[in-house]
Chain A
């Protein structure tokens, strides 16, 4: 099980997977070149949603397919600092697939 965390620190926004920086995957799909952000619906949360889903699923296609609802339902509702596991992501993807 992977653990994803995000925090706004005095040295910048830090998004980690198992303690290592999460790649932004902008070379696969670029929604924003400004880095990650969350707490609203927009390009930077969309890039974060995409990067989380690529890391979780290993599939750019799956990430592309679910990134928009995942951004609106999950990333836009992250608190100032957040944490989630790969199981949490799985639960959200199941919910998104069920409601689709």
Chain B
């Protein structure tokens, strides 16, 4: 099944066809979504059921955990998913992302055709296990040094932030509608991520998906405006930087004054 009302180029259409052909027949997008949602919510339920007499300052673990995950996701995205690495697992992330996700979705066509296409966007189901293992040590340390409640809330926030990331990324690849166009944060993320899918920009720009804050802070955003402007930019393209990289199939040399070459064959 493919989108009929699409302006995608033949190359992208062929890639999507080939990708779908290679997907295992048993894949089911709704099942994948349920695994992420149920495992995430169950984990958060277990973590928060350990809270006892929570103090107001212990809730600071929530924004800290949320932001820490988003920073980690930015680093992973910018330095692993868009850069080939030697380690097989890291290289697999690069292949899955740069060579698959970014070929499947381009700035011309960002949409899923159906739930079978969700596989190219959601992290694999075992991600929740990996995240739990990775979250355990910092949360345990925080729990021992600061307070047990802080540790449990940090663990909950890291898990919640991952689920938020998956939700936002999913929203970036669904069909346009009035709700998504007008929902703050979501509409900002959709434009931000669509620009990231521009092949000219994808290796360097708009690496944050859940939030544009890190792109704003590190100067890797395609927007030239402040923090609040970044957060609530929505679909606006009024503040685009004018010095963004422009790629070409064949970059042309500037016209030469005289045609001399000392190195040519």
Contact = CB atoms under 8 A, between A and B. Distances in A.
Q: Do A and B come from one complex?
A: yes
Interface of A: 8-10, 12-13, 33-35, 37, 39-40, 42, 44, 56-59, 62, 66, 73-74, 76-84, 86, 88, 90-95, 97-98
A62 B18 CA distance: 41
A92 B264 CA distance: 11
Nearest to B199: A80
B256 interface: yes
A10 B247 contact: no
A42 B103 CA distance: 22
B254 A95 contact: yes
Contact of A79 (B85, B199, B204, B261): B199
A82 B263 CA distance: 23
Contact of B253 (A13, A34, A39, A88): A88
A6 B29 CA distance: 33
B256 A8 contact: no
9 closest A-B pairs by beta carbon, nearest first, are A91-B253, A80-B199, A34-B84, A40-B203, A39-B203, A79-B247, A95-B253, A92-B253, A90-B264
B103 A8 contact: yes
A58 to B, nearest CB: 7
Contacts of B204: 39-40
Nearest to A96: B253
A12 to B, nearest CB: 7
Interface of B is mostly: loop
B203 to A, nearest CB: 4
A56 B199 CA distance: 27
6 contacts: A10-B22, A10-B99, A76-B245, A84-B251, A91-B252, A92-B253
B249 A79 contact: yes
A62 B53 CA distance: 70
Interface residues of B, number: 41
B200 interface: yes
B261 A93 contact: yes
B250 A83 contact: yes
Contacts of B133: none
B247 A78 contact: yes
A12 B257 contact: no
B263 A62 contact: yes
B19 interface: yes
Contacts of B99: 8-10, 12-13
* Residue in A59, A79, A88 with the greatest tally of chain B CB atoms within 10 Å: A79
Contacts of A73: 251
A12 B256 contact: no
B262 interface: yes
Contact of B249 (A9, A82, A95): A82
A76 B129 CA distance: 37
B246 A77 contact: yes
Interface string B18-47: 110010000000000000000000000000
